[in-house]
Structure 1
Amino acid sequence: MTDILNDESLDRLFRAARTHNVWRDEPVGDVLLQAIYDLAKMAPTSANCQPMRLLFVRSPDAKARLKPHLSDGNVDKTMAAPVTVIVGYDLKFYDELPRLFPHTDARAWFAGNDAKILETAFRNGSLQGAYLMIAARALGLDVGAMSGFDTAGVDAEFFAGTSIKSNFLCNLGYGDPGKLHERAPRPDFDDFCQIL
């Protein structure tokens, strides 16, 4: 791949993309959610470990279950969003490695090593969550990622009895551009980067 995306595409994914907090009343259908996942799953994870697990919270009943676990500042925007994704990671991801990384016994790298399991699941699940947001933007949705919620409460409500832990939440839908704040500053390359 040597072609550079055009400016319109780069703007949609990064330069003009914003974190939305106010949503238009437009539904997000199953086909679009599946298409977002189908794009995000193609991006790289170490040893193709794919630890991200997604729970798309869309129905009024599911939103009501999520609401008590949200920080006060996240309640209104989350209840108004067409979909809220609970982006989780599976601490048993390595059981899928014989299928996902079949050319070696990658499962043995993790089995019994809790620290390595947690580090790998969290790191790669976070990467996949970022890929998910880029995929959503690429397919025309706006996003609003959040970390203001009770992870233990969400895990007990939605992932009880599983090996899945919640990482962050992300609202998906069609944002109202008229309700955006001014874009916060971004640091220059020399502020935070070095080339050695």
Structure 2
Amino acid sequence: MLDNGALDRLFRNARTHNKWLDKPVSEATLRAAWDLAKMGPTSANSSPARIVFVVSAAAKEKLKPALAEGNVAKTMAAPVTAIIACDMAFYERLPELFPHTDARSWFVGNEALIGSTAFRNGSLQGAYFILAARAVGLDCGPMSGFDSAKVDEAFFAGTTLKSNFLCNLGYGDPAKLHPRDKRLSFDEACRIA
């Protein structure tokens, strides 16, 4: 089992941040987070997640019109915003990623299976990325509250990528956190069958 410090960093003391310290995030830190996140399991090692790290002022301005009003200030202030996307042509990489069988053939022409596999596994990878970012010392502010079609047009036009969710990254200001909201207990959320 991980020690209490690691569990605190990843779960117990980790919070969704909306206010950010004026401290940049290095490319090396983003790479380190991805190198951890990519190790999480996906169906047939499909690995459909793709991430665009929005860092520059120009890229932030490109993202801004797609944001819900309540997400503009915190996103513009965050050192990095990760656009967590899914590659809807992920199956083209399966001969390389899952070489022991013809997994590509499972998906070709099956749009429903492509869509559900990309969304499910891309979401998993996005969650792995949040934990990986926390593990390398970053704070996260994952969110919906954006126009996916506008993000796709601005960042993915002419590609097979579709946005899933956004995650602001940086070093959160702990003085600006609200008290933690309730979480459901085991008995409220789980059952053993």
TM-score by length of 1: 0.98
CA distance, structure 2, for counterparts of residue 153 and residue 121 of structure 1: 20
CA distance, structure 1, for counterparts of residue 126 and residue 155 of structure 2: 18
Residue 66 of structure 2 corresponds to 69
Residue among 128, 131, 135 paired with 1:131: 128
CA distance, structure 2, for counterparts of residue 115 and residue 145 of structure 1: 26
Report SS of the residue matched to 2:53: strand
Residue 37 of structure 2 corresponds to 40
CA distance, structure 2, for counterparts of residue 106 and residue 162 of structure 1: 22
Residue 88 of structure 1 corresponds to 85
Report SS of the residue matched to 1:62: helix
Residue 184 of structure 2 corresponds to 187
Corresponding letter in the other structure for 2:93: E
Corresponding letter in the other structure for 1:182: P
Report SS of the residue matched to 2:164: strand
Residue 13 of structure 1 corresponds to 10
Corresponding letter in the other structure for 1:115: A
For structure 1, which runs of at least 5 residues remain unmatched after alignment?
A: none
Q: Could you report, residue by residue, the CA deviation over 1:120-176 in whole angstroms, capped at 9, with x for unpaired residues?
A: 000000000000000000000000001000000000110000010000000000000
Residue among 137, 144, 147 paired with 1:150: 147
CA distance, structure 1, for counterparts of residue 2 and residue 42 of structure 2: 23
Runs of 4+ in 1 over 4 A off after TM superposition: none
CA distance, structure 2, for counterparts of residue 152 and residue 84 of structure 1: 17
Give the total of aligned pairs. 193
After superposition, the CA RMSD in angstroms is: 0.4
Corresponding letter in the other structure for 2:71: N
Give 1:192 deviation, angstroms: 1.2
CA distance, structure 1, for counterparts of residue 27 and residue 83 of structure 2: 16
CA distance, structure 2, for counterparts of residue 190 and residue 30 of structure 1: 42
CA distance, structure 2, for counterparts of residue 32 and residue 9 of structure 1: 18
TM-score by length of 2: 0.99
Residue among 112, 117, 121 paired with 1:115: 112
Corresponding letter in the other structure for 2:44: A
